[in-house]
Amino acid sequence: MNPELQPDFSLAGEDKIFKKMIKLTVGMMEESKNGCPLRVQHAKAAACVTANFEIAPDIPAELQHGVFSQAGQTFEAIVRFSTAQGKIQPDSDPTALGLAIKLLDVDGPRAIPGDPDQTQDFLFVDHPVFPFPNAKAYRNVIKYKSVPVIGDILAFIYLQVFAPDQLAVVQEIRNKTAASPLNSIYWSGSPYWLGNAANTTGQAVKYSAVPSTVTAGPDNPDDLPDDYLRDAVTKQLAEKEVVFDIKVQPQGDPEKMPIEDTSVAWDEQESVPVKVATLRIHKQTVTSNSALEQRCEDMSFNPWHALKEHRPLGGINRLRKAVYEASFIERKQRKGTASSDPRKD
Question: How far is it, in rounded angstroms, from Cα 60 to Cα 147?
Answer: 49
Could you report the per-residue pLDDT of 204-235, keeping only the tens digit for each? Answer: 999 999 999 888 888 788 888 888 999 999 99
Q: Is the dihedral of CA 252, 253, 259, 263 positive or negative?
A: negative
Could you report the per-residue pLDDT of 131-183, keeping only the tens digit for each? Answer: 988 888 888 888 888 888 888 899 899 899 998 999 999 899 888 888 899 99
Q: Report if residue 295 sits inside a domain.
A: yes
Q: 149 lies in which domain range?
A: 3-336
Quote the number of domains for the chain: 1
Q: Report if residue 102 sits inside a domain.
A: yes
Q: Report if residue 343 sits inside a domain.
A: no
32: left (phi over 0), alpha (psi -120 to 50) or beta: beta
CATH number, domain with residue 233: 2.40.180.10
Predicted confidence at residue 142, as pLDDT, reads 84
Q: Report if residue 170 sits inside a domain.
A: yes
The model carries a pTM of 0.88
Could you report the per-residue pLDDT of 26-72, keeping only the tens digit for each? Answer: 666 666 555 566 666 667 888 999 999 999 999 999 999 999 999 99
Q: Report if residue 341 sits inside a domain.
A: no
Given a contact cutoff of 8 angstroms between Cβ atoms, the answer to whether 52 and 280 are in contact is yes
Strands (DSSP E) contained in the chain are: 44-55, 74-83, 97-103, 120-125, 186-187, 192-195, 202-211, 242-250, 274-281
Q: Report if residue 55 sits inside a domain.
A: yes
Could you report the per-residue pLDDT of 274-315, keeping only the tens digit for each? Answer: 999 999 999 999 988 888 888 888 888 889 999 999 999 988
Q: Where are the alpha helices (DSSP H) in 175-314?
A: 228-239, 291-298
Distances (CA, A) of 322 to 84, 183, 281, 302, 318: 19, 32, 31, 10, 7
